[in-house]
Amino acid sequence: MFNIWYLLLYSFNITVVALVILLMKRLFRDLLSARWQKGIWFVLFFRIIIPSSSHRSILLPNVGSYAEMLKFTAEKELNSAYTPEFSLIRPDFTLPQSLAPVSVTDYLYVVFFVGAAVFAIYYLISYIRLRLLLKKSPEVPDEVRREINLIAGKYNLYAPKRIVTVKGLPSAFVCGFIKPVLVLPEEKETSEKIILHELLHLKHGDTLKNTLVCILRCFNWFNPIMHYAFNVMGNDIESLCDLRTLEKLEGEERRDYGRLLLSMVNEGYQKVPCTSSASNGGKNIARRIDSIVKFKKYPKGMGVVSVCIVLFLFMPCFYGYAVETGDYTPTSESKFNLAVASARSARCTTMAGALDTFSKGVAQKNGIMLLCAVPEERHEEIISEMTKEDELNYYFSSGLEFDNLTFPDTGTCHAVYNIEKTGDRTYKADIHFDIETDENADELKEIYGEVPENNAVLVMPVIIENFDGWTVREAGGRYLLDINWDANGEYHHKNYEATGKTGKISCGFSYKYYIKSEVKEQDSFFGFTSFNTAPDLAAEFESEYYDRYTVYEANEETRSKLTDKYLSIATIKCDDEEEFENIDFEAIKKRATSMDGLSGSGSSSDGSSWSGMTVYDGWDGKEEDMSGGGYSGSGIKPAENKQPFAYRVWIFADGELIDEFTIYTEEDKQDDN
């Protein structure tokens, strides 16, 4: 909803840009010509017509956060019809429609529209009256028209079809841009130079620019600084036209032009939309004469740097700076409100940043961190929890299990697994948290049923989205897994199963992503490392670990036949059909069966891995191959779906093939498994 808060933030932002431009113009007034002085306004123009949202501040730190804070604090009490309490300030240009204003802020919003309408109507009426007057005004005599056509021809300009005279006019002007009219005073002769000036206005579309300025005035009617800026903009249009006029003239003619302007100093003028006039008020004319004196005295060869300065200013003025967060543990009400506003306005700029922020928020039960990373629709819930019972506290309950987080030496307490793309801008993943289960075991059992002893992994499936910044939300379905790595690895693997003549296999893989987590403290004496608990909204993935796991379980009949034999499993992952068709079975067999009775494992760059052991009496029938892993420290692209096309698994006993399996991972082919 477009509301007064967005309007105020928008107006503040463009005012800051206008002030910067005015300052720059002042600094460069003797150095860069009228072209630059006018051209730099395009930065403001773009800033005005292309709005930004509150998560990027224009030049001043955290303006967006303060605006959000003010809005939230005010709207808590006001019950606005146009500004829901938990909505963020966004550029949404919908009108109030049929909703009646309720709160003070609603009425202010209505007042804004009324004011804009009043200004628009005033300008429209002025323009219509002028056009009606011009319609009735007589055309100039033929000799005057011929003269004007000669002037236009001499300077290669366009003379408008309608040229009229008006009684009581102080000086000539042009009106309109679709069907322009050149208007001359009836009582006195207009100098060739003034006509040249007006024709140059026509050529460069200055009447259209003035019209746009009038429109912008309507929307900024309440802002005196913007009115001043628009006045200066209008004067710059005139000064540039003077420069163009002087460039067409030579020698003494330039002095004559200056004298002509001097003669207009005492004339009044009125701003009417769609018009341009050589006379724009005494003070302005004085400035223009000053510029004329400086004509050709500006340093030469400054074209490149003139453009570069405008471009240099354009980016911070247009793009702004991202909102800064940092206070995740506010200790007072004002700090709390600002922290909440900053967090809501901030954006995680990378997937890793969103996952890092979300995970740390969950693990530390910090609602401020969570606000940075979750979608807007969850903000109300989190803020309500933090402000329940009139207490302002960054605490947010993540669940009982997070009371018992463990922090291993080597990293954070959480890890991200199996990021998969599920849509154009959506992904899914699992976040694992290491927790101790001794304390609160009974309560945990009530939630999760079976609870492993001592330690467990809490798996939190999440959905990651990238709409206006990266966000993470729980997908639901948390569950606990035994942290014991000797288990059959189901907990973090995507598992596929197949049954053959000698037994069954399950095959799975996982991708684990490490996010760069700055080491806060490294204690060289005690040898421990404490990681940075503050989230990084722009974090990057540091490395990717790929783990493949195959478990073979022989049936009863096979177990007895395999005693004292060397059993080996070979697995190969095929990423696509081509790889599947081109498997070098002999090479794989040779590698898998080459240990000659010694237990061993290994992997190869062709994607195969193997593992072997001599079957002993009392063997439980299971053999695992965990050697199909890999590590990558660069070029990490977690968004790409890395599910393989198929697995092939072979079982050898003393070098002889006894069984083989093919597992397709795609659902429509899984009947072939």
Instruction: List, as own/partner pairs, every contact residues 47-50 make where C-beta atoms lie below 8 angstroms and the sequence separation is at least 24, other chains included.
Output: 47/13, 47/14, 47/17, 47/317, 47/318, 48/14, 48/216, 50/318
Q: Which residues are bridge partners to 461 per DSSP?
A: 430
Is the Cβ–Cβ distance between 134 and 239 less than 8 Å? no
Output 416 or 567, the one with its CB closest to other proteins. 416
Output 313 or 657, the one with its CB closest to other proteins. 313
Q: Tell me, letter by letter, the H, E, C secondary structure of 256-287.
A: HHHHHHHHCCCCCCCCCCCEEECCCCHHHHHH
Q: How far apart are CB 237 and other proteins at their closest, in Å?
A: 23
Q: How far apart are CB 302 and other proteins at their closest, in Å?
A: 7
Output 180 or 638, the one with its CB closest to other proteins. 638
Output 138 or 299, the one with its CB closest to other proteins. 299
Q: Which residues are bridge partners to 573 per DSSP?
A: 647
**Residue 539 CB neighbours (<10 A):** 21
The type of residue at 93 is F
Output 159 or 352, the one with its CB closest to other proteins. 352
Q: Angle at CA 513, nearest 5°, toward 664 and 347? A: 120
Q: How far apart are CB 110 and other proteins at their closest, in Å?
A: 34
Q: How far apart are CB 315 and other proteins at their closest, in Å?
A: 4
Helix (H, G, I), strand (E, B) or coil at 631: strand
Output 191 or 349, the one with its CB closest to other proteins. 349
Output 59 or 481, the one with its CB closest to other proteins. 59
Is the Cβ–Cβ distance between 476 and 507 less than 8 Å? no
What lies within 8 Å, CB to CB, of 331 at 6+ separation is none
Q: How far apart are CB 637 and other proteins at their closest, in Å?
A: 8
**Residue 154 CB neighbours (<10 A):** 11
Output 612 or 638, the one with its CB closest to other proteins. 638
Q: How far apart are CB 9 and other proteins at their closest, in Å?
A: 16
Output 41 or 72, the one with its CB closest to other proteins. 41
CA 541 to chain centre: 19
Q: Is 161 exposed, middle or buried (0-12, 13-18, 19+ CB in 10 A)?
A: exposed
Is the Cβ–Cβ distance between 645 and 575 less than 8 Å? yes
What lies within 8 Å, CB to CB, of 160 at 6+ separation is 174, 180, 181, 182, 202
Kind of pairing between the strands at 541-554 and 630-632: antiparallel
Q: How far apart are CB 316 and other proteins at their closest, in Å?
A: 5
Q: Which helix (H) or strand (E) holds 152?
A: helix 142-154
Token pair for 559: 């177990």
Is the Cβ–Cβ distance between 570 and 609 less than 8 Å? yes
Q: How far apart are CB 108 and other proteins at their closest, in Å?
A: 28
Is the Cβ–Cβ distance between 470 and 348 less than 8 Å? yes
Token pair for 260: 């002509």
Q: How far apart are CB 668 and other proteins at their closest, in Å?
A: 34
Q: How far apart are CB 36 and other proteins at their closest, in Å?
A: 10
Output 22 or 110, the one with its CB closest to other proteins. 22
Output 27 or 121, the one with its CB closest to other proteins. 27
Output 373 or 498, the one with its CB closest to other proteins. 373
How many Å is the Cα radius of gyration of the chain? 37
Taking each helix axis from N to C end, the angle separating 4-27 and 63-78, rounded to the nearest 10 degrees, works out to 150
Q: How far apart are CB 313 and other proteins at their closest, in Å?
A: 6
Q: How far apart are CB 294 and other proteins at their closest, in Å?
A: 11
Exposed e or buried b per residue across 25-47, where buried means at least 16 C-beta atoms within 10 angstroms of its C-beta: beebeeebbbbbbbbbbebbbeb
Q: Where are the alpha helices (DSSP H) in 170-223?
A: 192-203, 206-219
Output 370 or 636, the one with its CB closest to other proteins. 636
DSSP state of 332: S
* Dist. CA 565–CA 569, nearest whole Å: 13
Helix (H, G, I), strand (E, B) or coil at 463: strand
Output 315 or 587, the one with its CB closest to other proteins. 315
Q: How far apart are CB 355 and other proteins at their closest, in Å?
A: 14
Is the Cβ–Cβ distance between 79 and 70 less than 8 Å? no
Provide the binding-site residues for other proteins, judged by CB under 8 A: 20, 23-24, 27-28, 30-32, 59-61, 299-302, 304-305, 308-309, 311-313, 315-316, 319, 321, 349-350, 538, 540-541, 634-636
Q: How far apart are CB 199 and other proteins at their closest, in Å?
A: 32
